[in-house]
Amino acid sequence: MSPDDYTPHSGDRRYRVEHYDLTIDYRLGTNRLDGVAVVRGRVVEPTKAVSFDLAGLRATKVQAPRGAAGGKGDRIGFTQTDRKLKVSFGRELAAGDPFELTIAYGGAPRPRRTRWGTLGWEELEDGAIVASQPIGAPSWFPCNDHPSDKATYRLTVTTDPGYAVAAAEPVSTATKGGRTTWVFERSAPTPTYLATVQIGKYVSRGMDLAGIEGQVLHPSALTARVQADLAPLPRMMAVFAEAFGPYPLPSYRLVVTADDLEIPLEAQGMGVFGANHIDGRGSLERLIAHELAHQWFGNSVGVGRWRDIWLNEGFACYAEWIWSERSGGHTAHAKALGHWTALAAEPQDLVLSDPGPDLMFDDRVYKRGALLLHALRLTVGDDAFFRILQTWTSRHAGVTATTEDFRMLAASVAGRRLEAFFDAWLDETALPPLPEAPAEDPAPVTRALNVTPSSPSQAR
């Protein structure tokens, strides 16, 4: 693991984390978080020290088990700056050696100020939200904040009564002394930016999402709007499972906050929406499709470096177009033509394979990535295209992949050379023309998915 060019001050190449066990006590009235993080990992090069990303919270004690990493069951040395916690082992660890560290920390969590806005743990009007992509995770726990370092999690969250907590797969809930403790586990390998805690005065209901366990948490006042807008979700799950392969996680949860949010966001096994995204009329249905698609593209198949962000966002954007046509709205081809025209009028100064940190979340990355996929579909045909997507999600499930990996896989599955195609779409600033749709099939994306259309979607 090398430092990421887009986030060079985050992460530590000397080790990888295997498991985080986080115990958090959070008091909403005072915005006070007290935590203990047990981090199990393995060094990948000889080292006497490792560093964790931690911002806005102070470590108070670091321990290692007796006889491990130089520890004697008591404190070991550490220093802290405004964004790093450096822990010194009592001896040099060799490449491959395991370690376990217990870090006590606390403070008033607040989002980090970054070039991408404020990120991480943030207070709501009555609750809390975590939105970490790409470097917000250190605002609430010490971590190796690099997109390629996936780990499993156990989270124990204690908070005030009357609040619901969503984080991962629920294990238990218990109330004692007027406070409630929620325990969750996440067995799917997860990068730090997709780990989450959501706290609010929510009601909860279950959903059968085409055989996948679903759960929706939302303020009771939004019940009617939530039920109306999420009604298509089971069918959406079925459409995507047929298009992309089986849903890659045990369950899917949606959280709708009472607050308005600037944008919805994905976490591992979860989509988070503001009240402004759920209006009861399905006006922003495409966003529900987008966040669900991220569970395949970005969450299961992750990016090992941020320059490849189009593999997350372009695929999720294209999933919006697939859902539109399968639910009776505009076809993917019609959407591609419209977005190509709009994108052609924008500045031609973005390289999709390396947009740079300032443009990694530019809407042109989303749309050009989706247009690349549609152009690939027109080039290789529906059968090969969907085999490419399903091979991609199965071969790289639970790990990370790069743009080069996708180029090679697409050519292999399609059985043809695609160097010139990918060079034009990925590495040149000029927007390539879309290939022509076959004359006998002006909407070629409509026949690959064997799902009966429903009433027209209001998503655009």
Same domain, 233 and 147: no
User: Residue 371 in contact with residue 310, Cβ under 8 Å?
Assistant: no
| Predicted structure pTM score | 0.93
Q: pLDDT digits over 431-451, tens only?
A: 999 998 754 443 444 433 433
Q: Is residue 6 part of a domain?
A: no
Cα separation, 351 vs 336, whole angstroms: 19
User: Residue 58 in contact with residue 105, Cβ under 8 Å?
Assistant: yes
Asked whether residue 40 carries a pLDDT value surpassing 90, the answer given is yes
Q: Is residue 368 part of a domain?
A: yes
* Residue 436 confidence (pLDDT): 86
Give 294's pLDDT tier (boundaries 50, 70, 90): very high
Cα separation, 321 vs 334, whole angstroms: 9
Same domain, 170 and 288: no
In this structure, what CATH number is given to the domain that contains residue 333?
1.10.390.10
Same domain, 236 and 330: yes
Q: Is residue 161 part of a domain?
A: yes
Same domain, 216 and 170: no
User: Residue 205 in contact with residue 289, Cβ under 8 Å?
Assistant: no
Q: pLDDT digits over 143-152, tens only?
A: 999 999 999 9
Same domain, 193 and 208: no
Beta bridge partner(s), residue 103: 37, 62
Cα separation, 120 vs 108, whole angstroms: 12
Same domain, 217 and 185: no
Give the pair of three-digit tokens for residue 230. 């999420």
Same domain, 314 and 359: yes
Same domain, 310 and 181: no
Same domain, 395 and 411: yes
Report whether the peptide linkage leading into residue 234 is cis, meaning its omega lies within 30 degrees of zero. Answer: no
Q: Structurally, how many domains does the chain consist of?
A: 2
- HSE toward the beta carbon, residue 377, CA cutoff 13 A: 26
Q: Is residue 412 part of a domain?
A: yes
- Domain around 221: 204-446
Share of residues in the chain with pLDDT > 70 (%): 93
Same domain, 122 and 229: no
Give the pair of three-digit tokens for residue 313. 């966002």
Same domain, 170 and 237: no
Give 101's pLDDT tier (boundaries 50, 70, 90): very high
86-109 mean pLDDT:
96
The average confidence (pLDDT) of the chain is 93
Same domain, 241 and 128: no
Q: Is residue 64 part of a domain?
A: yes
